[in-house]
Amino acid sequence: MKRLLLFAMVCASISFVSAQRKFDKVSKVTSSEIRWWGYKVVKTEASSHSGTVKLKSGKFNFDKTVLVDGEFVIDMRSLMAGDVSDEDMIKLTNDLKSTNFFEVKKFPIAKFHLTKIIPLANSQYNSTVYGDVTIKGVRKTITFPANVYVTQFTVVVESAKFSLNRRDFKVFYQSSLKDYFIKDEMDIQFKVSTEKLDNENRVPVKKK
């Protein structure tokens, strides 16, 4: 009986180690830029706001030399408005971080799990990126165009400007008429890379 129990424990240990060693190579993001845009219902330059948010951590996982997926953590506490005067910037930034919108004290991070990249031909962008984004604990599957370059274990992803519906993530005034003047779609655009690359050395992601 003791031998059987010991054998079971050894098998469990081997299974755990195997599960931990899921990827042959992990390439960490070393450079990133994330921008956002929000709009009033009447979408004009004067009625829009833009700003930035910072990536806390990011990585791409490889199976041998094949890119499998990517995992990214966004620091919502770094959320900033950047297109207004200093006084208005502080006011707008604090409002965005409050319970009116992103509730950063309760939800200090957002996540994006890149699950698939499909190459595109004859397009402004060379790929369609698929993934799951989690904001305020709500996860949604999204897709967007991007230029993706993979050279060995070096990865660069430059997204197009794409939209998320803030209401999908419960980002809205809970009880205020103010919310009816804000457009539901918010735009995002980002660039992440594992290291800097010259344009001449960039290689579009290849179809598996």
Cα–Cα distances in angstroms (integers) from residue 81 to residues 2, 24, 104, 180, 205, in the given order: 64, 39, 15, 21, 33
Q: What is the pLDDT of residue 179?
A: 63
Residue type, 59: K
What is the pLDDT of the chain when averaged over all its residues? 82
Task: Quote the pTM value.
Answer: 0.80
pLDDT in tens, 81-106: 986 667 778 888 998 999 989 999 99
d(CA 184, CA 12): 49
Kindly list the structural domains of the chain, giving each domain's residue range(s) and its CATH number in brackets, ordered by start. 25-193 (2.40.128.110)
Q: What is the mean pLDDT of residues 68-75?
A: 97
